Amino acid sequence: MAEATLHFPRDFRWGTAVSSYQVEGHNTNNDWWAWEQTPGRIRDGSTAGLACNWWAQAEADFDRAAAMGQSALRLSIEWSRVEPEPDQWDEAALDRYRQMLRELRRRNIEPMVTLHHFTNPLWMLMEGGWAAPETARRFERYVRKVVQALGDYTDCWCTLNEPVIYALLGYMEGRWPPGKRNMGLAFEVLTNMVRAHALAYQTIHELQPGARVGVAHNMRVFDPARPGSPLDRAAARFQDRFFNLAFLEALLNGRLAFPFRRSRLIPKAAGTLDFIGLNYYVRDRVAFDLRQARHAFGRNFPTPGAEVGDGDYGEIYPQGLFRCLQRLAPTRLPIYITENGVPDADDSRRPRFLLTHLLQVWHALNLNWPIMGYYHWTLVDNFEWADGWSLRFGLFALDPQTQVRILRRSGQLYAEICRTNTLTSDMAARYAPEIKEVLFPG
């Protein structure tokens, strides 16, 4: 049986990713807090509540990340804390974020700061939310304030997290706030988010000429259910264009083009990426279905017999990470894997998930693709939006009532990977022996 050690680049960043609403606790002035107060909107009937109590005690989890050997952490700023009312700024909130970034630096953990991770101030929703063209300027004003306050501690910024997911679930399917089911409105939201990113990019570089600015973009693999079916292939292709390509291409060439919609030229957005953040989780099989107009006439499901995450989260497909990296590599932009993880409450899948997905990253690096780091989702179990506490993604298990954390076996594995900057056959033998021969064939 082969014994092997696979090395990663010396400067490769190993980290985890979190978002403000999911970990801070008591973010009461935004749309998600208001949304979850209505029964039936959260799968398990829970609320975010104290979440992971980061607003008071984030540093304890920073210590845990540092002890694991992590060199990077992606976190977000809560807009509703910083600007609780229009053009009114909470300096104490900015001080707290400044303290968080300073404490990460003190532990030799590089922060990557996301400026919008799904949540919005209540006042912004009252003024039209992301469907209002003025929101792009409002966002730029907020970004300017944050960068002026925090720029001494980071120069790595994600303007937006998963804008397509935000528009799809909030404005097309109505499962997230503001609960709209209007395809045209969803396209307006994405148009305004492209403009907001472009304004934010220009502002950040005005304040920090050497800054790195990107987006965290969710990509899925859409494969036809029946590869020989022209209709299944067309449905998969349409979904791929809407979900994976349209928004990213707008930031590369200034043209926002969706299936069945007239293209929009947004010239100021062209060339407004210094890096691409890739969030990758699952693969979909797509079958043509006339009843699924909102999904480009495609019905989505996992490959029959494939392994899926808890709560039917989606098909676990490690090769999909490589395929997404392959699609991004021709841009020649640096790539950060800004999210990758699996809901797995009993930790039976996550060690295997980590090893198989990171092997794909290693293969990609050996093709000289510019992959700069990996941020696992997530450090500690947190409030997973409409799924509440029913999905557990953490390397640490969390009891939200007692706030007690317990390091999972997958966390032990990830710590070994971070500390040694390697994947080894010995790790596979100890943490996922069932796949050692697959990963390291003799």
Tell me, letter by letter, the H, E, C secondary structure of 325-346: HHHHHHHCCCEEEEECCCCCCC
Question: Over the chain, what is the mean pLDDT?
Answer: 97
Compute the average pLDDT of residues 138-150: 98
Angle at Cα 393 formed by Cα 389 and Cα 394, nearest 5°? 100
**Band of the pLDDT at 295, cuts 50, 70, 90?**
confident
Residue 2 lies in a domain: no
pLDDT, tens digit (0-9, with 9 covering 90-100), for 85-98: 999 999 999 999 99
Predicted pLDDT at 257? 93
Tell me if 69 is assigned to some domain: yes
pLDDT score at 296: 83
pLDDT attached to residue 164: 98
- Indicate the number of domains in the chain: 1
Residue 434, CB-side half-sphere exposure with 13 Å CA sphere: 5
C-alpha 412/C-alpha 186 separation (Å) is 41
Q: What is the pLDDT of residue 132?
A: 98
Phi, psi at 161, each rounded to 5°: -100, 120
Residues 164, 190 contacting (CB under 8 angstroms)? yes
pLDDT at 326: 98
Distance set, CA 91 to CA 68, 146, 149 (Å): 32, 10, 9
Measured distance CA(320)–CA(209) in Å, rounded = 35
Classify residue 5: in a domain, yes or no: no
Residue 430 has a pLDDT of 98
- Kindly state whether residue 4 falls inside one of the protein's structural domains: no
pLDDT tens digits for range 180-221: 999 999 999 999 999 999 999 999 999 999 999 999 999 999
Query: pLDDT tier at 2 (50, 70, 90 boundaries)?
Result: low
Q: Where are the beta strands (DSSP E) in 22-153?
A: 72-76, 110-114
Residue 421 included in any domain: no
* Residue 78 scores a pLDDT above 90: yes
Longest dimension (CA), the chain: 64
CATH classification of the domain holding 77: 3.20.20.80
Residues 15-37: tens digit of each pLDDT = 999 999 999 999 999 999 999 99
Q: Which one-letter amino acid corresponds to residue 216?
A: A
Q: Which contacts (CB < 8 Å, 24+ apart) does range 380-383 have?
A: 380/18, 380/23, 380/52, 380/61, 380/64, 380/405, 381/52, 382/18, 382/19, 382/22, 382/23, 382/51, 382/52, 383/21, 383/22, 383/46, 383/47, 383/48, 383/49, 383/51
- Burial zone of 90 (CB within 10 Å; 0-12 exposed, 13-18 middle, 19+ buried): middle
Give the pLDDT confidence score for residue 256 in this predicted structure. 97
Q: Is residue 422 part of a domain?
A: no
pLDDT of residue 260: 74
What's the rounded mean pLDDT across residues 126-132? 97
- The distance from CA 107 to its chain's CA centroid, rounded to whole angstroms, is 23
Task: Give yes or no for a contact between 274 and 212, defined as CB atoms under 8 angstroms apart.
Answer: yes
* The pLDDT of residue 1 is above 60: no
pLDDT range class, residue 294, cuts 50, 70, 90: confident
Q: Quote the domain boundaries for residue 27.
A: 12-410
Query: Is 7 inside a domain boundary?
Result: no
Please indicate, yes or no, if residue 122 is contained in any of the structural domains.
Answer: yes
Helix %, strand %, coil % for the chain, to 5? 45, 20, 35
C-alpha dihedral sign at 317, 325, 19, 87: negative
